[in-house]
């Protein structure tokens, strides 16, 4: 295991539902990330939090709302999603998200999201 | 921004053979190049990385080479085993400063046939 856990592992939701994805890291890191992984596309960075502050929003639609209450926990709140939002959502953490940018990112197992 | 191209998209080899996956990047300021392995049902896991001041790095059966002039880097796996079967992603980091962005290639599905 990498020290990054994600729940739930699978989620099916309707377009009008509201749900949240949870990520927790046990590595003492200060930076956390959300990625979207779709079939036949590169991993897409969505959000970056560094010391609980959001430092990156990669033009993500507002129907995705991140929350980082502390350096160990990261949430992704979902509402009024579209079928094209179905994907694997990966959380990652690293020591920090600055400097030379050579800190290794450790990934969780992901949440497989299906939007009906 | 950075753009990373990865080839091939699928690769099938016989057990014991070598496998090579190649990536190119566009941003000459990129200075860190990790490789990740993703097995079914798991998140990507770092297997090896290389920094811009090094041309080659080896870890047992895995090696990575970097050509900064040509802006390409490659993953070499020797003596492949069935457990090497997975999707492999290359990535490049866009410079440094206050942000840290990994730009990934599309991945290579490696199948090692017993």
Give burial (CB, 10 Å; 0-12/13-18/19+) of B2: middle
Task: Answer whether B87's CB lies under 8 Å from B95's CB.
Answer: no
Digit-coded pLDDT (tens) for B52-88: 888 999 999 999 999 999 999 999 999 999 999 999 9
Chain A residues 42-101 with a CB less than 8 Å from chain B = 42-43, 45, 48, 55-56, 90, 92, 94, 96-101
- What pLDDT is recorded for position A55? 80
Query: Mutate which of A4, A24, A42, A99 to disrupt the B interface (most B C-beta within 10 Å)?
Result: A42
Nearest CA in chain A to B94: A101
Q: Please tell me the distance from the alpha carbon of residue A83 to that of residue A41, in angstroms, as a whole number.
A: 16
Digit-coded pLDDT (tens) for A75-91: 999 999 999 999 999 99
- The answer on pLDDT for A20 being more than 90 is yes
Q: What is the DSSP letter of A2?
A: -
Residue percentage of chain A with pLDDT more than 90: 67
Residue percentage of chain B with pLDDT more than 90: 75
- What pLDDT is recorded for position A99? 52
Digit-coded pLDDT (tens) for A40-68: 788 999 999 988 888 877 789 999 999 99
- Asked if B106 reaches chain A (Cβ–Cβ under 8 Å), the answer is yes
């Amino acid at each position: 295991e990498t020290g990054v856990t994600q729940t739930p592992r699978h989620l099916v939701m309707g377009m009008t539902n509201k749900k949240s994805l949870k990520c927790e890291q046990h590595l003492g890191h200060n930076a956390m990330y959300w990625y979207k992984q779709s079939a036949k596309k590169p991993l897409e960075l969505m959000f970056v939090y560094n010391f609980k502050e959001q430092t990156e929003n990669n033009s993500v639609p507002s129907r995705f709302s991140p929350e980082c209450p502390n350096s160990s926990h990261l949430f992704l709140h979902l509402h009024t999603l579209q079928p094209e939002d179905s994907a694997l959502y990966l959380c990652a953490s690293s020591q920090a998200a600055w400097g030379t940018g050579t800190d290794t990112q450790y990934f969780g197992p992901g949440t497989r999201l299906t939007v009906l | 921004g950075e753009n990373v191209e990865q080839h091939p998209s699928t690769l099938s080899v016989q057990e014991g053979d070598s496998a090579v996956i190649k990536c190119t990047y566009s941003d000459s300021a990129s200075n860190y190049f990790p490789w990740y392995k993703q097995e079914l049902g798991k998140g990507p896991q770092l297997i090896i990385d290389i920094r811009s001041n090094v041309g080659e790095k080896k870890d047992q059966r895995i090696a990575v080479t970097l050509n900064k002039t040509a802006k390409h880097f490659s993953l070499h796996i020797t003596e492949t085993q069935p457990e090497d079967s997975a999707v492999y992603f290359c990535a490049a980091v866009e410079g440094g400063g206050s942000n840290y962005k990994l730009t990934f290639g599309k991945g290579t599905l490696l199948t090692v046939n017993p």
